[in-house]
Structure 1
Amino acid sequence: MSSHQVLAGFHAVTARLRHAPESIKELYVEASRRDKRMQALIEQAQAAKVRVRPVPAERLDGLAHGTRHQGVVALAQAHALAVDVDEVLDLLEGKEPALLLILDGVTDPHNLGACLRTADAAGVHAVIAPRDRAVGLNTTVQRVACGAADTVPYIMVTNLARTMRRLKERDVWLVGADDQAEAGIHQVDARRPMAWVMGAEGEGMRRLTRETCDELVSIPMRGSVESLNVSVASAVCLYESVRQRRQP
């Protein structure tokens, strides 16, 4: 991953200004836009001592490389979050049970952005994906994630099955979402250290990923659609975990 990144849109930029303003090298705004939302962003940037450069919309289009930018683009250093699964678990040891999300084969940046946004809302400690079949944290992901890419570690690993086995060695229970499974998500004890494992739309989890899971469960559906989008499925599973963990 490059040490620099492009942040496009109000959500991605304001989140970075809130969490790590020192990482922003340049903030470009559309010169002709003077509404309250833009003014609030400029004031936030100035308070954080970030340089603001008004430019034509055409310049923003070029900086954003086709991503919808809403008149706001920032050039920033990649924000340092946890880069290793063991680092995440070490930080949690003795504090709270781990809650992780593993995505096997998610290549759509909109899906990844939505998964990161849900993960942030649910208090997930890290999202894990393989390097060979996954989208990275590109500009579209940053925009759709609405700032969650700056708060939830996204850890890409060389060998997903090996990483999952490492999690098991550290007492993390691996639960795979599979529409053919007999057990349902409400039968999962989500209060323990655990990771939800999701596959890509259509294909689902790869065979080795599925076989490495400790448990497979299905998500009950009352509607007429045949399958759930991976971002929706992850939201259902993560919020079931939150519900259980909040019970006395």
Structure 2
Amino acid sequence: MAKGERKRAMRGRAGRMQGGRGSGRASTGQVRLWGRHAVEAALKNPERSHRKLWATREGVASLDGELPSDFPVEWADGADLARLVARDAPHQGLVLECAPLDDVFLEDVVGDSDAPVLVLDQVTDPHNVGAILRSAAAFGAAAIVTQDRHAPPESGVVAKSASGALETVPWVRVVNLARALDELAEAGYWRIGLAGEAETTLAEALPTGPIALVLGAEGEGMRHNIAGHCDALARLPISDSMESLNVSNAAAVALYAIATRKR
């Protein structure tokens, strides 16, 4: 933010919460977020309904923005906050309880631009999903798409790994991933699945126009049925000395390739 630019106001709605340590999903059905970037982004997101903030005074002072005067803050020390989050989670003096984000549907995010869509097939590690959200935000992806049964829930771990991108990148959850890929094809997307065994490199496979980039879980890769719903399979040209990349690293490299392709 440029010096002198007016700080964006924080937002909030009062409420109560009960529950202890966990991954970031409170027993009341709310989501618990921690860390400065995740909490700050959620406070600035007008689509979020906020319930309560547990914080140290240093944590609140680190925020880029002003909390409303009636925002429900419970002052606490670091040890108290550590009991509200996942073990050893770096809360940075801030723990926020808020409502989950509203559902986003595929038709809401496709067709308006050539921005890529990332489709994740059984990527279940919340750290990886969060890191992919962060790369998606960095390279201007339109959305990520996951199958609801084979993806982590919205949580503090995802939000912390996403470093604020959970609030800005639409996350579409679908029942049937193959059907979603068919809908993307009908909307004009060229579906490219990343597969280490593919003969074609990603650079060679990139067309003009919108792309749906499909990534499978580490180890297993894409399921056969999902690969069959891709228009092309491509690999990243990594060294023979390394078998594969972490799925979040592969997503970042592929998004960079898409962003810098020749039109």
Same fold (TM over 0.5): yes
1:30 is the counterpart of 2:56: yes
Gap regions ≥5 residues in structure 2 = 1-24
3-state secondary structure, aligned to 2:92: coil
| Residues 195-245 of structure 1: per-residue CA shift (max 9 Å, x gap) | 10000111000010011100000100136221111001111111111112x
Q: Compared with structure 1, are the counterparts of its residues 39 and 21 closer, same or farther at alpha carbon in structure 2 (3 Å cutoff)? A: farther
Give the alignment partner of residue 258 of structure 2, picking from 233, 238, 241.
241
Query: Hey, what does 1:176 align to over in structure 2?
Result: 193
TM-score w.r.t. the length of structure 1 is: 0.86
| Equivalent in 78, 81, 85 of residue 57 of structure 1 | 78
> Is this contact kept in 2: 1:104–1:198, CA < 8 A?
yes
- The size of the alignment, in residue pairs, is 236
- Residue number among 157, 170, 174 corresponding to 1:140 in the alignment: 157
Indicate whether 1:194 and 2:211 are aligned. Answer: yes
Which runs of no fewer than 5 residues in structure 1 stay unpaired?
A: none
**Further displaced range: 175-184 or 130-139:** 130-139
Q: Which runs of structure 2 are paired with 1:116-127 in the superposition (5 Å)? A: 116-127=133-144
Q: 8 Å contact 2:51–2:98 — kept in the other structure?
A: yes
In the aligned structure 2, how far is the partner of 1:213 from the partner of 1:85? 17
The residue number in structure 1 matching 2:21 is none
Q: Distance in 1 between matches of 2:70 and 2:160?
A: 23
Deviation at 1:77, TM superposition (A): 2.1
Structure 1 window deviating more from structure 2 (150-159 vs 49-58): it is: 49-58
Q: State the alpha-carbon separation in 2 of the partners of residues 40 and 218 from structure 1.
A: 42
Q: What CA distance in whole angstroms lies between the structure 2 residues aligned with 1:241 and 1:48? A: 45
Change beyond 3 A, Cα 1:241–1:54? same
Question: CA 1:5 to 1:228, structure 2 compared with 1: closer, same or farther past 3 Å?
Answer: same
* Aligned-residue CA RMSD (Å): 2.3
Q: 1:182 and 1:228 mapped to 2: Cα distance?
A: 17
What does 1:29-48 correspond to in 2, within 5 Å?
A: 29-30=55-56, 34=58, 38-41=60-63, 44-46=65-67
Say if 1:20 and 1:79, in contact at 8 Å, map to a contact too: no
CA change 1:48–1:136 in 2 (3 A) is farther
Q: Out of 28, 35, 38, which is 1:9 matched to?
A: 35
Separation in 2, partners of 1:212, 1:190: 17
Partner SS for 1:168: helix
Structure 2 CA distance for aligned equivalents of residues 169 and 133 of structure 1:
24
Report the CA distance shift for 1:4/1:45 in structure 2 as closer, same or farther (over 3 A): farther
Q: Contact 1:190/1:241 (CA < 8 Å) preserved in 2? A: no
| 1:78 corresponds to which of 100, 108, 113 | 100
- Alpha-carbon contact 2:195-2:233 (below 8 Å) kept: yes
Higher helix proportion: 1
Identity of aligned residues (%): 35
SS at match of 2:97: strand
